[in-house]
Amino acid sequence: MEHLEYQEGRTEIGHLGKVALIDRLTDGFERRNASTVKGVGDDAAVLGTGATKTLVTTQTLVEGIHFDMMYTPLKHLGYKALAIAISNLAAMNATPKQALVSIAASNRYSVEALEELYAGIRLCCNRYDVDLAGGETVTNRMGLVITVTAIGEAAEEKITYRSGAKLHDLICVSGDLGSAYCGLLILEREKVTYQANPNFQPDLDGFDYVLERYLKPEPRMDIVKLLGEKGVVPTSMIDVSGGLASEMLHLCKASKCGCEVYEERIPIDYQTTRVCSEMSKNMLPVSCALNGGEDYELLFTIRQSDYETVKEMSEVHIIGHITEEGSAAVMVTPQNTTIELRAQGFQGEE
Amino acid sequence: MEHLEYQEGRTEIGHLGKVALIDRLTDGFERRNASTVKGVGDDAAVLGTGATKTLVTTQTLVEGIHFDMMYTPLKHLGYKALAIAISNLAAMNATPKQALVSIAASNRYSVEALEELYAGIRLCCNRYDVDLAGGETVTNRMGLVITVTAIGEAAEEKITYRSGAKLHDLICVSGDLGSAYCGLLILEREKVTYQANPNFQPDLDGFDYVLERYLKPEPRMDIVKLLGEKGVVPTSMIDVSGGLASEMLHLCKASKCGCEVYEERIPIDYQTTRVCSEMSKNMLPVSCALNGGEDYELLFTIRQSDYETVKEMSEVHIIGHITEEGSAAVMVTPQNTTIELRAQGFQGEE
């Protein structure tokens, strides 16, 4: 009979970063099959022996950790759960094809509630041409846990890993950063006000963009498609699920390089700036971009020779460049001081 | 702000069977990709456009629902979580190749505890030549939820669906049935005794087989291999995760047929019989086989022309035959009375 709590010499999971934890847990596993091209350590596994590879990724969302039922419509939640799994495939430069959805739900959830969740999943399937190909629904003791497995395809030579960035490559990011986190801040603020006074009507006017960014993110398949059409294969890529800082560090670590990111180049929406100024005079929009997370934009590097092509892409911003192995990952401020990037993130991301 | 509990006209999840629930939730989803050969509705999804297909399945285990930490060693749990996902691939006549493991764990679990879990996963990976290819570990508010995605391969013509059974086909089952459930009964009995008196030493002597059946099931890849070597492709197949009764009904429903299973042919281990007689004089071993579940044996049908080959397989038992569409799924007793099979199962299975 086991007593987990009283174990001696225990290490708390929170003491390790997410990546360090996976590294420790998967230490000692061997590769046995030729069809396992890339296993643990990127946004998706790469499988198969042919020219077209199969990419597989899983993403788990836990109630009370990754979402709050107080302000998360189930339809949005279903959409988001699949969207962020697809985003992992986008980060590999792959095209999504199928998904399997496993749900553990307590008896607090009715069949009608799960139908709402599935309506969101269906919307996302239709939007991104993904087939729901399986999964299961089991009983949970408390709350809701959703695990989505997304499966995609890519030609071998198009697959983009975290590890391919080379010296002098340009660092690019799609869309804008920090807005999803600002959406979360607004929702948390309204929740607190509502809990103090249940007759209170939430005031979400003028925050539509940041709220949608948090509640219903879109994987940037449009960017994957555009890059493909223009013949640009990024040298490395990752999606921004944590903040820009932690994702940049992942790329640099995997690619064995440093980087310089220019603060003034980091794309930030005006609603993000507005939320920051409303929240606190000390809250900087760039901090939301660096540490907020959940933007699900694509962070990638390109060869200098692709500069002319990429600078024409209105949704892609060139924010810096790769520096040599051994150098730090830094942000350069408008005052030309450099600040070392550090992983903070939120919600259990490193 | 949502109040899930007070929804009007709500249908409890438990009111629908597992299959009826998935049918309802996945209603209205369309197939969009040619590479989705088989989606929802079998043990695994079948994907790909080539002659060799990729099979993908997910399996979720929830603490307090599917396992009890009072008597489940974490190493066994890790092994079992992967083993039962592999069993889904075995049920499609496929060979496992990779797995992704997603874990949601509360802070009650230390890194060392997760290492134990992963040690079990590694053991199972090594045993069945599976590569751990990804996954993640996230924070859970309470308890442990493990979702394993298993990926396998099979030649298109070898893939065995639930839907292929034909009139007069013979019904076969591997190993023995009911023993895993008897293992669970013993563990539950010892738990109750322990809770009443924590100084009590559990007495598990003589129950090693049924305990191992419950705590550390083995997917029947040996049967898949043997059938392949002997050139037998089952006409339909499913793994026995619920009881024999519910699995037989799944096969009959998918294959649009009835069946006759002979009670005296159902393979039952002597330890199963012993546990039943110890537990209660009203407890029949055949009830454990029909309704117990978690045996992870293979239930399949073969053409009559394969009879001579299959009857030589010591681990395969021919227990009945398929009857025509519209006829019931029944068990025939030694007294030659027929009893209609009904799904009961345990642990949230239908």
User: What would the pLDDT profile of B161-182 be if each residue is shown by its tens digit?
Assistant: 999 999 999 999 999 999 999 9
Give bridge partners of residue A131 from the DSSP assignment. A98
Nearest CA in chain B to A42: B134
User: Which residues of B, range 188-227, sit inside 8 Å of A by Cβ?
Assistant: 191, 194, 202
The one-letter amino acid code at B97 reads: K
Average pLDDT per run of 10 along chain A, which is 350 residues long? 60 84 90 94 93 96 96 97 98 98 95 96 98 94 96 97 98 98 94 87 87 97 98 98 95 97 98 93 93 96 98 98 97 96 58
User: pLDDT tens across B272-290, in order?
Assistant: 999 999 988 889 999 999 9
Q: Rounded mean pLDDT of chain B?
A: 93
Among the ranges A10-24, B20-34, B263-277, which has the highest mean pLDDT value?
A: B263-277
Using the predicted structure, report yes or no on whether residue B252 has a pLDDT greater than 90.
yes
pLDDT of residue B346: 42
Separation in Å, CA of A101 to nearest CA in chain B: 8
Residue A1: what pLDDT? Answer: 44
Q: How many helices (H) and strands (E) does chain B have?
A: 10, 13
**Structure confidence by residue, pLDDT tens digits, B196-243:** 888 887 778 889 999 999 999 999 999 999 999 999 999 999 999 999
Q: Do B97 and A35 touch (CB under 8 A)?
A: yes
**Interior/surface letters B51-66, b for 16+ CB within 10 angstroms, e for the rest:** eebbbbbbbbbbbebb
Q: CB distance from A20 to chain B under 8 Å?
A: no
| Predicted pLDDT at A89 | 98
Residue B116 has pLDDT above 70, yes or no: yes
Residue B254: the pLDDT is 96
Nearest Cα to B164, choosing from B246, B230, B251, B232? B251
Query: Which pLDDT band, with edges at 50, 70 and 90, does B348 fall under?
Result: very low
Q: How far is CA A100 from the centre of its chain?
A: 19
List of chain A residues whose C-beta atoms are within 8 Å of the C-beta of residue B111: 10-13, 15-16, 21, 24-25
At residue B4, the pLDDT reads 56
pLDDT recorded at residue A6: 53
Of A130, A138, A149, the CB nearest to B65: A138
Contact A296, A173 (CB under 8 A): no
CB contact set of A213 (below 8 Å; sequence gap of 6+): A179, A180, A182, A183, A294, A295
Beta strand segments in chain A, E: 36-38, 45-47, 52-62, 95-105, 131-139, 144-155, 170-174, 236-239, 258-262, 298-302, 316-323, 329-332, 338-340
pTM: 0.94
Q: Is the dihedral of CA B22, B26, B27, B30 positive or negative?
A: negative
Residue ranges of B 93-112 with Cβ closer than 8 A to chain A: 97-98, 100, 102-105, 107-112
Nearest chain B Cα distance for residue A290, angstroms: 21
User: Is the pLDDT at B350 greater than 50, yes or no?
Assistant: no
Q: Does B25 touch chain A (CB under 8 A)?
A: yes
| Nearest CB partner across the interface for A135, out of B50, B58, B140 | B58
Chain A touched by B115 (CB under 8 Å): yes
Q: Among A73, A65, A148, which residue's Cα sits nearest to residue A104?
A: A148
Contacts A66 to B, Cβ<8 Å = 138
Taking the Cβ of residue B65 and every Cβ of chain A, the question of whether any pair is shorter than 8 Å is answered with yes
What is the pLDDT, as a whole number, of residue B249? 96
Q: Which of the 8 DSSP states describes residue A210?
A: H
Interface pTM (ipTM) of the complex?
Answer: 0.92
pLDDT-based confidence at residue B16 (cuts at 50, 70, 90): confident
CB contact under 8 Å between B56 and A141, yes or no, is no
